[in-house]
Amino acid sequence: MEHVRDVSRLPKAHLHLHFTGSMRPTTLLELADKYGVHLPDALTSGEPPRLRATDERGWFRFQRLYDIARSCLRTPDDIRRLVREAAEEDLKDGSGWLEIQVDPTSYAPMLGGLIPALEIILDAVESASRETGLGIRVLVAANRMKHPLDARTLARLAVRHADRGIVGFGLSNDERRGMARDFDRAFAIAREGGLLAAPHGGELSGPASVRDCLDDLRASRIGHGVRAAEDPRLLRKLAERQVTCEVCPASNVALGVYEKPEDVPLRTLYDAGVPMALGADDPLLFGSRLAAQYEFARRHHDFTDTELAELARQSVRGSAAPAPVRDGMLAGIDDWLKEEPTGV
């Protein structure tokens, strides 16, 4: 019998979780019933769909499922419920800090406009943090499928609300569309306003998309970044700059970025000294939350408890958590390693 520690008790920061994608499947079913939304089998079967988003059809299907789920979030109460439940799930998984990613533009039609939507989201985050005790902050993400001027509007809005809990600015959706440099002004606005830059890169596209995020957007974190493993020089650059990659292993397999769990290059990045923050991405669609990503590293890549603890430290160091929170979590990670392993 192997003796290991419980990863759900390991303190960690969660830096890559999308807003609608954080929803509990049971909540989606209830809201869909409430609003008369027909859900496709892929959202009701209880099994995560194999989306194969590396081809056009697969990405379209992923987006369609996400859009259907988002259409079930229609009122401030729905938003409050989603954030509170996301916080509760994170706490069960040992998270001590959550940075949830949202494009408020997507919720604006249901919530009275862009600014009201963002304020409702920020209110929900503040309430959930107070009620659960979990530190929660927001990363506002622009959509690279939309015009770069829209991204500038969002960046200015994010900076204006930085005192309400916004810590970063991102760029999401299909990275095969649009050049990173088209969004450089939006990211300059965000950085000048004190927000960290955390665009997606190196998921559906290769190492060049990670380089573009570093060179054109001056990213301090990369959403995903796993394809950097294909370029040793890029790995060295990420390691030297200590740019944290928000790696979502279960998502990588579900989307067909890698065929098998063993193919996700966790070891390559780790051994190269690239900081990683394991994340769940979209648990609603991919079927696993935060602690399961650490189990993934243990089961499929033979990460020891000492190495899992280092991954947790890297997630904390890559976060925007204030020093007292970071120090407390780092001390908790040391305490976790002092616990007696249990049989599994």
- Separation of alpha carbons 91 and 73, rounded Å: 23
pLDDT value of position 48: 66
Q: Which residue has the tokens 């294909």?
A: 230
Q: Nearest CA to 29 among 59, 86, 62, 68?
A: 68
Handedness of CA 78, 84, 97, 64 (dihedral sign): negative
Judge whether residue 260 has pLDDT over 60.
yes
The lowest-confidence range among 160-164, 176-180, 203-207, 340-344 is: 340-344
Q: Give whole-number Cα distances, 112 to 4, 25, 119, 269, in Å.
A: 50, 26, 11, 43
Q: Give whole-number Cα distances, 260 to 62, 95, 266, 327, in Å.
A: 19, 27, 13, 36
pLDDT in tens, 80-95: 999 999 999 999 999 9
Judge whether residue 53 has pLDDT over 90.
no
- Separation of alpha carbons 186 and 194, rounded Å: 13
**Domains, the chain, ordered by start:** 3-343 (3.20.20.140)
Q: Nearest CA to 280 among 100, 120, 152?
A: 100
Sheet strands (E) in 130-177: 135-143, 166-172
Judge whether residue 344 has pLDDT over 60.
no
pLDDT value of position 177: 76
Task: Read off φ and ψ for residue 176, nearest 5 degrees.
Answer: -75, -10
Q: Find the radius of gyration of the CA atoms of the chain.
A: 19
Query: Which residue among 99, 175, 203, 246 is the active-site one?
Result: 203
Other C-beta atoms lying within 10 Å of the C-beta of residue 318: 23
Judge whether residue 314 has pLDDT over 90.
yes
pLDDT value of position 50: 66
Say which DSSP state 161 is in: T
Burial of 158 (0-12, 13-18, 19+ CB in 10 A): buried
Q: What is the mean pLDDT of residues 293-315?
A: 97
Task: Read off φ and ψ for residue 87, nearest 5 degrees.
Answer: -65, -45
Q: What is the mean pLDDT of residues 103-128?
A: 97
pLDDT value of position 57: 67
pTM: 0.95
Q: What is the mean pLDDT of the chain?
A: 94
pLDDT value of position 313: 98
pLDDT value of position 1: 42
Pick the residue with more confidence: 298 or 52?
Answer: 298
Judge whether residue 42 has pLDDT over 90.
no
With cut-offs at 50, 70 and 90, classify the pLDDT of residue 127.
very high
Q: What is the mean pLDDT of residues 200-209?
A: 93
pLDDT value of position 291: 98
Helix (H, G, I), strand (E, B) or coil at 36: coil
Beta bridge partners of 172: 143
Q: What is the mean pLDDT of residues 316-344?
A: 93
Check if 203 is active-site. yes
pLDDT value of position 55: 60
Q: What is the mean pLDDT of residues 225-252?
A: 97
pLDDT value of position 204: 86
pLDDT value of position 56: 59
- Separation of alpha carbons 141 and 271, rounded Å: 30
pLDDT in tens, 266-280: 999 999 999 999 999
Task: Read off φ and ψ for residue 146, nearest 5 degrees.
Answer: -105, 175
Share of the chain above pLDDT 90, in %: 86
